[in-house]
Each structure stands twice: as structure tokens, then as C-alpha cells.
């Protein structure tokens, strides 16, 4: 059994909402802080948090500023530096909690969150271990199914949104997930299934298939592998064999560069980690075993 508590903490004067899952008992426990992807919301991470807590590892999930239940305007605006600041604040909150052992805080990140946990841990030698799931490590050289014309349309949307941001105007939103040919951050044949998975839950304040795409400019220069080389703790990279969004040849570099890096490759695509319950259970079991080894 485990207990879940609504929590919040401030980052630069903005309220960040979260959920703290604690294992049964009254003593201090290790705690993993979970970071979701580019436009995700914490409700999709609850199954992971519950599994960790059931195994004696507390788990803190939270929404980045301007997403989900957290405050922040304009809405649906990813900012790489802000997301890392939110993650650092979540770590500080966990360490200060009376039920958490501050010397046994772990990081877990999915997709873009997988990049953030590597970068944040590289600057925080107190982190005990990091698990990066289908992590971002730079865009693929070519996106399958996206023609030059469609790429140009997406780039135009990114630049226009960035210009609007510089002028202090409201964002120019595009879908996060769309079908092939649509001007979306990710356009795949699996779009309907992926949207259905991300939009699950019973709160009208959670995931939205809409995002301000200006952050993609920063992602073009984002290379967490450089930070991986500075990690002082163990790193587990969980990759998908047929991932087209965060390709295996790029995610592999994170494990290769980390002094204590470990790579696990699973069958499926990037979206299999969201849609395949059997695969998800296999992966989280490996992650729990990895965290237990690191904590020992």
C-alpha cells in the first residue's frame, strides 16, 4: 500500500502542482522525481509513481509551469531552461520532505524529460541514480514520412511563434500530435492511438494537444550527451528498437558517454512505451531493479 498527497511548490513566484506518492510506513524512504516529456502532464506518470511506491521508493510527479495543473502564462509554452528549473525545484522539495531521505533522491525522465534528468543530475552530485526512458538527444537527421515541404511548414510555424514571443504577443499554437502531413510536432500513423493515451484521465485541466512550438528552436541545439559525460551517478537508458522520434543511435550515446552508463533496448517504437502495458511493466521492473542496485 502507498499514500498519495497533493503538493505544490513555487518556482520564480509561480505555483507548480504535483503529487507525492509515499510507501507505507513512517520512516524516511528514497524518492524518485519523475519528469515527463515536451508537453506531457503528470497524470500519465501516476502508474509509474504507484509502482515505485509499492516497491518502497517514494515518487514525486509534477506538471511543468504553464502545463496541466500548474500555474503559468501563457499556457502550453515549453521552455527548456524553465523545465529544468522546475525539475531542480522538485528535487529540492523532495529533499526537504520529512518522509524522504535527502541522500537517496533519484531521477526518472521520459522523452524530453529523459534529457532534462541527465542534465540536472550532471550538475547535482547528490543525485543517487538516473533512469532516462526513450530520452531526447538531438533530432534525427531525417524524420521518416516528413517531406521537405512539410518540414518547411513546420519550421515556418516555429519561427512565427518565436517572433510572436519576442513581440510579446500570444503564442502561435500547433498540435503536439498529428497525422502524417499535418503541421504538428509529431506526425505519425499512430497519432490517434497516441492522442487517446495522452488525453486519458478525468480532469479537464490536464493534457492538451496544443503547444507553442518555439521551444523546438532550442531543442535543435540541445545535446544532453555532453552532460552525460559529467555524471557521477549510475545512468540507465531505456530505448526502443524502432524509435523514429528519439532514434536508438542517438540515445545510445547517452549510455556510452556516461561513466556508469547502462543501455537496455526494448522492442517497439517510441509510442510503444505509452501504449503497450506489457512493455511498460517490463521496463518499470528493470528500472526498479536498477534503482535498488544503485541505492545499495
CATH code at position 235: 3.40.50.1820
Question: For residue 239, what is its C-alpha cell?
Answer: 530505448
Phi, then psi, of 62 in degrees rounded to 5: -160, 160
Let me know if 203 is exposed, middle or buried by CB neighbors in 10 A (0-12, 13-18, 19+).
exposed
- Bridge partners of 106, per DSSP, are 32
Q: Which domain holds residue 281?
A: 2-140+221-295
Q: With beta carbons less than 8 A apart as the criterion, state whether 212 and 74 touch.
A: yes
Q: What is the pLDDT along the chain (296 residues), one digit of tens a residue?
A: 678 999 999 999 999 999 999 998 879 999 999 999 999 999 999 999 999 999 999 999 999 999 999 999 999 999 999 999 999 999 999 999 999 999 999 999 999 999 999 999 999 999 999 999 999 999 876 655 557 788 889 999 999 999 999 999 999 999 998 888 788 888 877 766 777 777 764 444 588 999 999 999 999 999 999 999 999 999 999 999 999 889 999 999 999 999 999 999 999 999 899 889 999 999 999 999 999 999 99
Cα dihedral across residues 165, 171, 173, 176: positive or negative: positive
Q: Number of folded domains in the chain?
A: 1
Q: Give yes or no for a cis peptide into 74 (omega within 30° of 0).
A: yes
Residue 246 resides in a domain: yes
182 in a structural domain: no
pTM of the model: 0.94
Q: Using an 8 Å Cβ cutoff, are 129 and 119 in contact?
A: no
CB 174 within 8 A of CB 78: no
Look at residues 83, 80, 39 and name the one whose alpha carbon lies nearest to residue 217.
80
Beta-bridge partner residues of 62: 18
In a domain, 8, yes or no: yes
In a domain, 238, yes or no: yes
Q: Is residue 39 a contact partner of residue 108, using CB atoms and an 8 Å limit?
A: no
Amino acid at each position: 500500500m502507498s499514500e498519495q498527497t497533493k503538493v505544490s511548490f513555487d518556482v520564480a513566484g509561480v505555483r507548480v502542482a504535483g503529487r507525492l506518492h509515499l510507501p507505507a510506513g513512517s520512516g524516511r524512504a528514497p524518492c524518485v522525481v519523475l519528469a515527463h516529456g515536451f508537453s506531457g502532464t503528470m497524470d500519465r506518470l501516476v502508474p509509474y509513481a504507484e509502482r515505485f511506491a509499492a516497491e518502497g521508493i517514494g515518487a514525486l510527479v509534477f506538471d511543468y509551469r504553464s502545463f496541466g495543473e500548474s500555474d503559468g502564462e501563457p499556457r502550453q509554452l515549453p521552455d527548456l531552461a524553465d523545465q529544468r528549473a522546475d525539475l531542480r525545484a522538485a528535487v529540492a522539495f523532495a529533499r526537504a520532505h520529512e518522509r524522504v531521505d535527502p541522500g537517496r533522491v533519484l531521477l526518472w525522465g521520459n522523452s524530453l524529460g529523459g534529457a532534462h534528468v541527465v542534465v540536472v543530475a550532471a550538475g547535482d552530485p547528490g543525485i543517487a541514480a538516473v533512469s532516462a526512458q526513450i530520452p531526447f538527444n538531438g533530432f534525427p537527421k531525417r524524420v521518416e514520412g516528413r517531406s521537405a515541404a512539410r518540414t518547411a511548414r513546420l519550421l515556418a510555424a516555429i519561427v512565427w511563434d518565436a517572433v510572436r514571443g519576442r513581440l510579446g504577443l500570444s503564442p502561435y499554437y500547433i498540435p503536439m500530435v498529428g497525422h502524417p502531413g499535418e503541421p504538428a510536432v509529431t506526425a505519425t500513423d499512430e497519432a490517434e492511438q497516441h492522442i487517446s493515451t495522452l488525453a486519458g484521465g478525468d480532469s479537464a485541466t490536464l493534457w492538451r494537444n496544443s503547444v507553442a512550438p518555439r521551444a523546438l528552436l532550442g531543442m535543435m541545439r540541445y545535446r544532453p550527451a555532453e552532460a552525460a559525460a559529467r555524471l557521477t551517478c549510475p545512468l540507465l537508458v531505456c530505448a526502443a528498437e524502432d524509435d523514429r522520434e528519439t532514434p536508438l543511435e542517438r540515445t545510445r550515446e547517452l549510455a556510452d558517454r556516461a561513466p556508469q552508463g547502462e543501455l537496455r533496448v526494448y522492442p517497439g517504437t517510441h509510442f510503444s512505451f505509452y501504449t503497450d502495458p506489457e512493455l511498460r511493466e517490463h521496463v518499470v521492473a528493470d528500472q526498479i531493479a536498477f534503482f535498488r542496485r544503485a541505492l545499495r
